[in-house]
Amino acid sequence: MIRTLLILFVLSLLTPAGFCAEQSFDLAVYPTVAWQGKVVAVRLISAESVSEVSGSFLGNKFNCYRSGDDYQGVVGVPIDQKVGHYDLKLFITKNDGTKTEISKKMKVWETRFPFSRFWLKPARNKLRARNIINNEWAEIEQVLQVEGQEKLWQGKFSWPVKARVSQGFGHREIINGKRAGNHRGLDIAVISGTKIIAPNSAKVVFAKRLKAFGGTLVLDHGQGIHTLYFHLSKLIAKVGDEVGKGELIALSGNSGISSGAHLHWGMSAHNLRVDPLQWTKYEI
Ligand SMILES: [Zn+2]
């Protein structure tokens, strides 16, 4: 008798009990806490066939893409998002054209961003003029807003160059004694001329020498995910190139707004800057 009950219990665990008519959809997130400056990977598990899925979280909209039987998406958490509980919503268009939405309460939690102080010589400091930065950033943003449908990256990202981190993501910068903004990338201390590799498969969508950001490359990893490389001394990959993980793309340098030789490595999820380190530690 006990044996029969045990078998029935195990069988009940194996049956997808949640998938009755009202609950055809389930939403899984990873990690389960939304940290400031990091991303959340979203997965829609569906018992029905659907034709389109998109999402919204903290005012950021994102597309979800088919992955096997499920739909997956990635959304970033702004660095300055107030700690609290917020709805993550998915908008689902079913195959018959009807629409539905599901949501999950997510906790946004604090990431500690230390202060970092550095000095810029007058000639470098001049490059911080609003009009220079705004114009150059507008140019970069044009490629960050283009979302390729195909997922080009696979597995964890490797470091574009492995060396000491001289300034982490989100650090609160004090430049020449004055409070500036938060650092939107990861600075890796390497001497000029160090080889920089693609941390994952991608297409090169931007390669240009800029004043503020110096030698600049942007890789498009597909589905709204881009990586950025600033202060380069030599651009090796060209716009339109398809690069594989580990392929040489540039040489590091000290061009643009820089207080010493290093690589600035940025990561963008649907045009929101997020911490690249999360992508090197976890498969997203
Ligand atoms: Zn930087």
Helices (H), the chain: 2-14, 122-125, 130-144, 276-281
CA 43 – ligand 1 centroid, Å? 32
Residue ending a domain, among 93, 109, 125, is 109
CA of 245 relative to ligand 1 center, distance in Å: 22
Count of structural domains within the chain: 2
Q: Are residues 12 and 126 in the same domain?
A: no
Same-domain check for residues 259 and 211: yes
pLDDT at site 47: 83
Strand 25-30 with 84-94, pairing: unpaired
Domain end: 109, 141, 175, which one? 109
Domain match, 83 and 125 both: no
Taking the complete model, does pTM exceed 0.75, yes or no? yes
Do residues 250 and 273 both lie within one domain?
yes
Same domain for 154 and 230, yes or no, is: yes
CA of 126 to the centre of ligand 1 (A): 17
| Alpha carbon 273 to chain centroid, angstroms | 7
For 193, phi then psi, to 5°, come to: 95, 5
CA dihedral 187, 191, 193, 198 (to 10 degrees): -30
Q: Report the DSSP pairing between strands 215-222 and 248-251.
A: unpaired
The residue type of 48 is E
CA of 206 to the centre of ligand 1 (A): 18
Does one domain contain both 130 and 253? Answer: yes
Same domain for 123 and 89? no
The alpha carbon of 221 and the centre of ligand 1 are apart by a number of angstroms equal to: 21
CA distance 217 to 280: 19
Predicted local confidence at residue 12, as pLDDT: 43
Token digits for 269? 């999820």
Its domain, for residue 42, covers 2-109
Q: What is the CATH number of the domain that holds 218?
A: 2.70.70.10
pLDDT digits 0-9 by tens, 203-232: 999 999 999 999 999 999 999 999 999 999
User: Does 31 sit behind a cis peptide bond, omega within 30 degrees of 0 on the bond before it?
Assistant: yes
Residue that is last in its domain, among 109, 138, 162: 109
pLDDT of residue 49: 86
What is the pLDDT at residue 24? 85
Question: 111-130 burial string, b = 16+ CB within 10 Å, else e?
Answer: eebeeeeeeeeeebeebeee
What count of Cα atoms within 13 Å lies in the side-chain half-sphere of residue 2?
0
Q: What's the 207 CA to ligand 1 centre distance in angstroms?
A: 18
pLDDT of residue 130: 92
Task: Judge whether 245 and 201 are in contact, CB under 8 Å.
Answer: yes
Contact 190, 197 (CB under 8 A): no
Distant-in-sequence, close-in-space partners of 284: CB < 8 Å, separation ≥ 6: 39, 41, 74, 278
Cβ contact 62:270 at 8 Å: yes
> What is the whole-number distance in angstroms between the Cα of residue 258 and the centre of ligand 1?
8
CATH, residue 37: 2.60.40.10
Taking the C-alpha atoms of residue 253 and residue 260, their distance in angstroms, rounded to an integer, is 9
- Give me the residues of the chain with pLDDT under 50, please: 4-22
Helix (H, G, I), strand (E, B) or coil at 136: helix
Cβ atoms of 120 and 257 closer than 8 Å: yes
Q: Rounded to whole angstroms, what are the CA distances from 81 to 92, 136, 153, 226? A: 26, 26, 27, 21
What does the alpha-carbon distance between residue 42 and residue 236 come to, in Å, rounded to a whole number? 35
C-alpha 58 to ligand 1 mean position (Å): 25
Per-residue pLDDT, 50: 92
Q: Same domain for 186 and 213?
A: yes
Specify the pLDDT at position 23: 67
CB 34 within 8 A of CB 42: no
C-alpha of residue 75 to centroid of ligand 1, in Å: 22
170 CA from centroid of ligand 1 (Å): 10
- 211 and 78 fall within a common domain: no
- Report how far ligand 1's centroid is from the alpha carbon of 263 (Å): 7
90 Cα to the center of ligand 1, angstroms: 34
